[in-house]
Amino acid sequence: MLRRRFLISGWPWRCLAYLVTSAVPLVAMAVPILLFGVPWVFALRRAADGGRAPLTVALLVTLGVLLVAGVGPLFAVPLAELERRRLRLVDARPIESGHRTARGSWAWLRTRYTEAVTWRELGYICLLGAVAPALYMALLAFALVVGAFLISPLLADGTAVALGFDSVTNATEALPYALAGLVLLPAVPYLTAVVAGAHGAVARALLGRGPDERLRAELVEVSRSRARLVDAFEAERRRIERDLHDGAQQRLLGLTLHLGMARLDLPPGSPAAQNVADAHEQAKLLMTELRELIRGIHPRVLTDRGLPAALRELADRSAVPVTVDADLPGRLPAHVEGTAYFVVVEALNNIAKHSGAAEAVVAVRRRGDLLTVEVRDDGEGGADPRAGSGLTGLADRVAVIDGRMLLSSPVGGPTVVQVELPCGKE
């Protein structure tokens, strides 16, 4: 409305279309109310004719409760969806429903009647039926008065023509009103836009998502984006592991073989043979380090044989003797297996560095849609996440897939780290 070209743009016509089409939800709301209320009207009339005032009051209260709290929400939900679509005429910003998804008729009814957005929609429909007609009639009356002012010189042909608070009988008397109508004519589209804008603002406030629905939607989107990041991270981890295993490791293996062959071709004890022998040993050490690096990025056994086999291989390489008790009925989702594996890796590293334990036990169980991983040691205890022992990072890794970590580490031991990871239905 503040733009200079507002009057010659399409917005006044869009606002007019928005106000005119408001009759559609009003009629759609009136029809079921009339159909539902006709039997009650006859009952009220009979009660009133019989002089039974208490029964009349009871019937009125019952009718109001049934209309508002009973069938009202059932009509408010589809009408609110129509209003959200119609709002695009005057508001280009998208507006989304705050309703939750529900499957099944009874679940749908229970969900709708317990949602705050349903009752906001019902309040909007009631407000639309109570306020909109009076407001629109006032706007229409103003437009008709302006129109009457404009054509008053044509209507005043010797007969008295009423123009609001005055009347004219000829064109000379009507000329000032025509000029006033010409001055007031631009106010009609502006007033139309004001009424349509106010109506649209109320619709957006009541039919859009409330603070709770917006917060819930944002949390859902955060969870989805976090899951996408986890999947992308795991895919990148697998790509790096594959490139190192199939590329750099194979080339280094070929280099080691060539150095070994070169040692055989050189005279024993010569300076060249010594240099090649040193390079050969360094290449073998580098091969070992690269193999450990690849295993740390993503062990191949975890992909090929699953979590129990990967944990047993990890236990064989642990600095502390580890007993693995992993009884799983089948394979788990890849992100769950990866998280469980690296949780155990971090826990065993902490045991080797800080606990002074003589042995450790890793137990893995699946109960329904929950995977439980428990790492126990007989060390000194007293583990504190605030001391930088890696437990905070471990908890963060678990939280990424909506799991939780429990820690018990009294002074003197034992220390128990238990992780619960959702893994879907069996």
pLDDT tens, residue by residue, 149-195: 888 888 777 677 777 677 777 778 888 888 988 999 999 999 999 99
Start-to-end C-alpha separation, the chain: 60
Q: Is residue 220 part of a domain?
A: no
- Residue 173 shares a structural domain with residue 24: yes
Q: Is residue 213 part of a domain?
A: no
- Residue 292 shares a structural domain with residue 347: no
Q: Which of 3-12, 67-76, 238-247 has the highest mean pLDDT?
A: 3-12
The sign one gets for the Cα dihedral 224, 225, 226, 227 is positive
What average pLDDT does range 277-290 have in this prediction?
77
Decide the pairing of beta strands 360-367 and 404-408.
Answer: unpaired
Q: Give me the number of domains the chain comprises.
A: 3
Length of the chain in terms of residues written: 426
Q: Which of 265, 280, 297 is the last residue of a domain?
A: 297
* Least confident residue range of 100-104, 225-229, 259-263, 287-291: 225-229
Label residue 49 by pLDDT band (50, 70, 90): low
Closest by Cα among 297, 371, 311 to 341: 311
- pLDDT over threshold 70, residue 392: yes
- Residue 62 shares a structural domain with residue 98: yes
- pLDDT over threshold 70, residue 342: yes
- Residue 196 shares a structural domain with residue 76: yes
- Residue 142 shares a structural domain with residue 231: no
pLDDT at 368: 83
Asked if residues 65 and 15 have their Cβ atoms less than 8 Å apart, the reply is: no
* Least confident residue range of 23-32, 159-168, 235-244, 252-261: 235-244
Residue type, 102: A
Q: Is residue 1 part of a domain?
A: no
What average pLDDT does range 393-420 have in this prediction?
84
CB atoms < 10 A from the CB of 94, how many?
A: 9
For 18, 106, 230, 343, the CA distances from 403, given in Å and listed in that order, are: 49, 32, 13, 12
Structure tokens at 80: 């609110």
Q: Is residue 6 part of a domain?
A: no
Q: Is residue 379 part of a domain?
A: yes
- Residue 128 shares a structural domain with residue 27: yes
**Cα gap 232→245, rounded to integer Å:** 20
**Cα gap 97→104, rounded to integer Å:** 19
What average pLDDT does range 335-357 have in this prediction?
84
Phi and psi dihedrals of 405, rounded to 5? -120, 135
Q: Is residue 321 part of a domain?
A: yes
Q: Which domain holds residue 263?
A: 227-297
Decide the pairing of beta strands 360-367 and 322-327.
Answer: parallel
- Residue 267 shares a structural domain with residue 400: no
CB atoms < 10 A from the CB of 379, how many?
A: 23
Asked if residues 355 and 377 have their Cβ atoms less than 8 Å apart, the reply is: yes
- pLDDT over threshold 60, residue 128: yes
pLDDT at 195: 93
What average pLDDT does range 226-251 have in this prediction?
69
Label residue 426 by pLDDT band (50, 70, 90): very low
Q: Is residue 398 part of a domain?
A: yes
- Residue 186 shares a structural domain with residue 327: no
Label residue 425 by pLDDT band (50, 70, 90): low
Write the CB contacts of 163 (distance below 8 Å, at least 6 apart in sequence). 145, 148, 149, 152, 174, 177
Q: Which of 146, 177, 207 is the last residue of a domain?
A: 207
DSSP output for 332-397: --HHHHHHHHHHHHHHHHHIIIII--S-EEEEEEEETTEEEEEEEE-S-----GGGTSSHHHHHHH
